Amino acid sequence: MMVESASETIRSAPSGQNGVGSLSGQADGGGGGGAGAAGTAGGGAGRDTATGSDSNGEMSPAELLHFQQQQALQVARQFLLQQASGLSSPGNNDSKQSASAVQVPVSVAMMSPQMLTPQQMQQILSPPQLQALLQQQQALMLQQLQEYYKKQQEQLHLQLLTQQQAGKQQPKEALGNKQLAFQQQLLQMQQLQQQHLLNLQRQGLVSLQPNQASGPLQTLPQAAVCPSDLPQLWKGEGAPGQPAEDSVKQEGLDLTGTATTATSFAAAPKVSPPLSHHTLPNGQPTVLTPRRDSSSHEETPGSHPLYGHGECKWPGCETLCEDLGQFIKHLNTEHALDDRSTAQCRVQMQVVQQLEIQLAKESERLQAMMAHLHMRPSEPKPFSQPVTVSAADSFPDGLVHPPTSAAAPVTPLRPPGLSSASLHSGGPTRRRSSDKFCSPISSELAQNHEFYKNADVRPPFTYASLIRQAILETPDRQLTLNEIYNWFTRMFAYFRRNTATWKNAVRHNLSLHKCFVRVENVKGAVWTVDEREYQKRRPPKMTGSPTLVKNMISGLSYGALNASYQAALAESSFPLLNSPGMLNPGSASSLLPLSHDDVGAPVEPLPSNGSSSPPRLSPPQYSHQVQVKEEPAEAEEDRRPGPPLGPPNPSTSGPPEDRDLEEELPPGEELS
């Protein structure tokens, strides 16, 4: 009751976006992201001072060198651009311009070399996921690009050395200047990289996922700086007096919040787009054609990598420049080699570095996953494999997610497909699909806990699965009806309204499903879960039917996908394996309250005997399965604990409907 009122605030959000927004606000408020960013920046901070401390004015010699190098750079850039366009556009040239939907087939084709046809992939994956796939692909390309950049840098370095030798007589100052110039070049290279990154990002190719946008910021696993933050980082121009890096650091910290909000998926697109239009991962359309802009070089009449749409695209700088000339001027004056720029570049480098690391990790993981999945053929089910594999192949998560492991509980701001009408709060839509994957619920909940808690979005689970989850989450594995209610309201904003309706549904489910066992307690009645029964009622594993997978995915989408995917995968792979393993069957099952560990945790073990399941209302038999606190005596079968409420049970009373239908066999087998 009280709970309901308390939660009123959030619910107004009809679309769920509001909820998200607020959520994001809170989330980043923690400042975890900022801290991480700061740390990162700080790492590089130490050195910068040496470089550009006093060099303000441009030296002619330096400029000369500068020009020379720029020419080299240009060639490099050109090449890069070609390469880039060759990589990204050719592949999906046509598609890129249109909505992501169009990209799908291509990306799918790219991503799922084996096993699946694009159509299949399409069927299985929702557009967002496909997009994510594409992103992953792009990221790989990016890596290649970066490698190329490195090479170019080396070349430049050589060039510099040569020149230095040639001009030995030059005063040391000049040499120093040269170095500075060189450094500038390097920085530009970095910028280029970043630019490229951003471009891709803008096109929704490399962008972060909703999860990531928030996750990393909140927990900042490895001081990872997500691309989207970058702009924000840049934005902060160090205070005049202060060491640039510090300022950057600070700004990064401060801005983290906004960054999160800005990037959080559904968040308003316009939130201080650092560079021109920073489109959301989703919003493909608005994207300008950055490549063209950035693709050119300084010399090229109309463009410069840092110049586009009439404004300076230096991170954090949106100065308007009439033409290229003006821009160049601006670039030279405002973004000359100085502490600030250097620091920014360092930050940029860090960012790139992090991304690289991240990418490597994710790639590795993907490889491992694929390798693992490909081994599955051993599994009895024939078709299960293709599907699973497809899912793996396509698993969008791979790319963006910061090593989830490190990212701890990552509570994405906008996990499930909000956009999807199905989840819309208002609609009484029923998408129970996901329910089938009961286990996923735990992991998904774990991940999206915050989201469901605050967003008025109906969780993609059935009442049964939710109830079960609620019960399993408690140490005792038992809850009173009221406690279940409370859990619902506590965990889901959605259940803070229409209480009569869903409470009725909860009760209905408790009564209806055999898997919920009512146990009379000293204090009253509590509800427990008979895991075996619950498992029984589970529909055939998803692996069997692609459509199921599809449903699930579409129902969850994005953040949720991760968890559910994993869980589903796990479930499908080891139907019962996870259950028996985790907990000790016997005594007060160690709780393992839906710990981080994906699927396994919550699932009740109870491999126990095969003594089928009695008509639901006779708890006795269950007692050993579901340990009910202070219910020792239960063991006796006919002594039904005291279900005064329960239908006059047993003895002869005709088989309560279907309840006993399932008694036949040990659940274990058929499930798999």
Partner DNA sequence: CCTCACGTAAACAAAT
Partner DNA sequence: GATTTGTTTACGTGAG
Please, which residue, 90 or 426, has the CB nearer to DNA?
Answer: 426
Q: Give min distance, CB of 430 to DNA, in A.
A: 4
Q: Give min distance, CB of 104 to DNA, in A.
A: 20
Q: Give min distance, CB of 466 to DNA, in A.
A: 8
Q: Are 614 and 623 in contact (CB under 8 A)?
A: no
Give the DSSP H or E segment for 311: strand 311-312
Please, which residue, 89 or 649, has the CB nearer to DNA?
Answer: 649
Site for DNA in 38-77 (CB under 7 A): none
Contact between 656 and DNA per CB under 7 A: yes
Site for DNA in 410-469 (CB under 7 A): 428, 430, 432-433, 435-436, 461-464
Please, which residue, 129 or 260, has the CB nearer to DNA?
Answer: 129
Q: Give min distance, CB of 540 to DNA, in A.
A: 8
Residue with tokens 């690391």: 357
Amino acid making up residue 425 = S
Buried/exposed 84-114: b ≥16 CB within 10 Å, e otherwise: beebbeebbeebbeeebebbbbbbbebbbee
Stretch that binds DNA, among 94-102, 257-265, 388-396, 499-507 (CB under 7 A): 499-507
Please, which residue, 113 or 644, has the CB nearer to DNA?
Answer: 644
Please, which residue, 285 or 539, has the CB nearer to DNA?
Answer: 539
Q: What are phi and psi of 475, to 5 degrees?
A: -60, -40
Q: Which of 244, 253, 237 is nearest to 36 (CA)?
A: 253
DSSP 8-state secondary structure symbol assigned to residue 116:
-
Contact between 671 and DNA per CB under 7 A: no
Write out the DSSP string of 182-223: HHHHHHHHHHHHHHHHHHHHHTTSSPPPHHHHHHHHHH-TTS
Supply 458's token pair. Answer: 């109906």
Mapped onto helix, strand or coil, the DSSP state of residue 134 is: helix
Bridge partner list, 529: 516
Please, which residue, 281 or 641, has the CB nearer to DNA?
Answer: 641
Q: Are 509 and 467 in contact (CB under 8 A)?
A: yes
Site for DNA in 518-577 (CB under 7 A): 518, 524-525, 527, 537, 539, 545, 547-548, 551
Supply 83's token pair. Answer: 């390469």
Bridge partner list, 243: none
Supply 539's token pair. Answer: 């529909």
Please, which residue, 171 or 524, has the CB nearer to DNA?
Answer: 524
Among 504, 584, 590, 609, binds DNA (CB under 7 A): 504
How crowded is residue 6: how many other Cβ atoms within 10 Å of its Cβ?
Answer: 12
Please, which residue, 32 or 646, has the CB nearer to DNA?
Answer: 646
Burial of 226 (0-12, 13-18, 19+ CB in 10 A): buried
- Site size toward DNA (CB under 7 A) is 44
Please, which residue, 197 or 542, has the CB nearer to DNA?
Answer: 542
Cα gap 316→333, rounded to integer Å? 15
Among 630, 657, 664, 669, binds DNA (CB under 7 A): 657
Among 274, 412, 643, 667, binds DNA (CB under 7 A): 643
Among 239, 371, 635, 645, binds DNA (CB under 7 A): 645
Stretch that binds DNA, among 215-223, 470-478, 510-518, 620-628 (CB under 7 A): 510-518
Using CA atoms, how far residue 598 sits from 411, 437, 560, 602, in Å, is 14, 12, 12, 8
Q: Give min distance, CB of 551 to DNA, in A.
A: 6
Write out the DSSP string of 323-390: SHHHHHHHHHHHTSSSHHHHHHHHHHHHHHHHHHHHHHHHHHHHHHHHHHHHTGGGSS-TTHHHHHHH
Residue with tokens 């110049």: 307
Instruction: State the chain's maximal CA–CA distance in angstroms.
Output: 109
Please, which residue, 159 or 511, has the CB nearer to DNA?
Answer: 511
Please, which residue, 34 or 546, has the CB nearer to DNA?
Answer: 546
Please, which residue, 396 or 643, has the CB nearer to DNA?
Answer: 643
Contact between 497 and DNA per CB under 7 A: no
Q: Give min distance, CB of 388 to DNA, in A.
A: 16
Among 314, 327, 395, 485, binds DNA (CB under 7 A): 485
Q: Which of 263, 274, 358 is nearest to 312 (CA)?
A: 274
Site for DNA in 569-628 (CB under 7 A): 617
Cα atoms in the 13 Å half-sphere on the side-chain side of 270: 0
Provide the mask over 234-273, with x wherever binding to DNA is found by CB under 7 A and - wherever it is not.
----------------------------------------
Among 288, 481, 592, 671, binds DNA (CB under 7 A): 481
Please, which residue, 153 or 545, has the CB nearer to DNA?
Answer: 545
Cα gap 459→463, rounded to integer Å? 10
DSSP 8-state secondary structure symbol assigned to residue 635:
G
Stretch that binds DNA, among 23-31, 260-268, 364-372, 639-647 (CB under 7 A): 639-647
Among 89, 179, 480, 612, binds DNA (CB under 7 A): 480
Q: Are 458 and 493 in contact (CB under 8 A)?
A: no
Helix H, strand E, coil C: the string for 537-554 is HCCCCHHHCHHHHHHHHH
Please, which residue, 49 or 480, has the CB nearer to DNA?
Answer: 480
Q: Give min distance, CB of 595 to DNA, in A.
A: 24
Stretch that binds DNA, among 321-329, 346-354, 476-484, 628-636 (CB under 7 A): 476-484
Binding residues for DNA, rule: CB under 7 A, are 428, 430, 432-433, 435-436, 461-464, 480-482, 485, 498, 500-502, 504-505, 507-512, 518, 524-525, 527, 537, 539, 545, 547-548, 551, 617, 643-647, 656-657
